[in-house]
Structures are given as C-alpha cells and as structure tokens.
Amino acid sequence: MQFITLAALAGAAMAAPAPQAASSDYEVLKIRSFMSITLNGKITDVEFRLTGDDATNLLCVGAPIDPIPQPQPIKCGGVDGGLDTPYSFNVVRDEKEASGYAIQFFHALESG
C-alpha cells in the first residue's frame, strides 16, 4: 500500500513509495474542490476530489471524522464509498502544520 500526507489539508500531493517499493516509484495525486468543516477546533467533515493513476475526479468524503485518526482509512468513491476504488485517506494530527492536521492517502496496489 502506498501513502502520502497532504500538508495543511490542501493542495496537490505526491505519493511516497511503500517501504517495499523501488525508490523510483511514485504517484502524483491532484486534489481539488477541498472542503473541511471545523467545530470547536476539531475537524468534523472533509470532502475533496482526487485524480491519480487509477482515478479521475474521484469523490472522497469523510463525515463524521471522530476519532482522529479513524481506526480504518476512509474509502474514496462517493458519499457512501460505494464505488470500488483503490484509494482511501485518513485525517491525522500533525502539530508541524498550521492547522494541526494533515491527510494521509493510501493507494492499494494489486499483488502479483
């Protein structure tokens, strides 16, 4: 599984290779239409569109987001995650970022 972190909860991102992947493996992810809702200093909802090697304009929605991080990554693929896609994400705490949060992306790779 590959993952990346989207700093400060906005912008474009590049996937870092999983530890077993060759150092030249990477994936560029484009994030657009990013929206987050914060209530009493806590992120409660996140929504954005993701384009990558295996998706174009894929809807990713997380609501409610509690606890942070979620026990399992949130599957992208519509409001209910109904599409079968290899992408998922999780909101994580990151005190190095101004917002205090970051997004970690996952791309499940086929074995074989």
Q: What is the pLDDT of residues 41-86, one digit of tens each?
A: 788 899 999 999 999 999 999 888 877 888 889 999 966 656 788 9
Is the CB of residue 105 less than 8 Å from the CB of residue 89?
yes
Q: Is the pLDDT of residue 22 over 90?
A: no
pLDDT for position 95: 83
pLDDT for position 82: 67
Mean pLDDT value across the chain: 78
